[in-house]
Amino acid sequence: MVKISPSILISDFLTLKDSIKELEAAGVDMLHLDVMDGIFVPNISFGNPVIKSIKAHSNLPLDVHLMIDRPHRYIEEFAKYADLLGFHYEAGSDNVELLKKIRELGCKSCITIKPATPAEAIFDLLPLCDMVLVMSVEPGFGGQKFMPMALDKIKALKEESIRQGLNIDIEVDGGINAETAPQAIAAGANVLVAGNFLFSADDMGAKVKEIKAL
């Protein structure tokens, strides 16, 4: 089944509580929270205090995507509020130990790869992951166009997870819309991060149903 994890980065933070309630009513499966530090990516978003506040106002699982340098420094703090906690393969930490630590702290684990990183780079890490995230845009800014190269990586990760006998989620983030969502699902993705596509919709619930019906 396809799951929708909308990125709140696109929402108006002055009315964030209302946006979350609207997303809940629309039938999304979780909330995607992009944490950016201005070092690993050229942008800054928000940190744990905002995530703590969101946790207090929503029963949806929190899908926390760390786009930060040396994420091992902050894993214990983010794990207090995240349900699923992910970091970048390229971020300069011991990936094996970090994935194990995330699970030890009671969160589901995720590793993310940027567009330039091949799928094969994380094949040996798949047994330690509950989900993998394929970036279909360069991380750091919303509103970018979907990079078709992501489809081959999604397919490769899906095939490898089956070969290893694993049942993991494959998430895709960036440029998801009515055209690219079916392509990503056909390639093997089952979790879609959507931002502009949902928040610009006249009927958010209808858009969620449209994607889930693919």
Which residue of the set 34, 63, 130, 169 is catalytic?
Answer: 34
Cβ atoms 130, 121 nearer than 8 A: no
Q: In angstroms, rounded to a whole number, what is the distance separating the alpha carbons of residues 109 and 166? A: 14
User: To which H or E segment does residue 85 belong?
Assistant: strand 84-88
Q: In angstroms, rounded to a whole number, what is the distance separating the alpha carbons of residues 6 and 191? A: 10
34 is catalytic: yes
Q: Which residues contact 80 (CB under 8 A, 6 or more apart)?
A: 48, 52
Buried b / exposed e along 82-101 (16+ C-beta atoms within 10 A):
bbbbbbbbebebebeebbeb
* Interstrand relation of 31-36 and 108-113 (parallel, antiparallel or unpaired): unpaired
Longest dimension (CA), the chain: 46
| Angle value at C-alpha 7, between 180 and 41, nearest 5 degrees | 95
Which residue of the set 37, 63, 169, 173 is catalytic?
Answer: 173
124 is catalytic: no
In the chain, count of helices (H) and strands (E)? 8, 8
* Catalytic positions, written as ranges: 34, 173
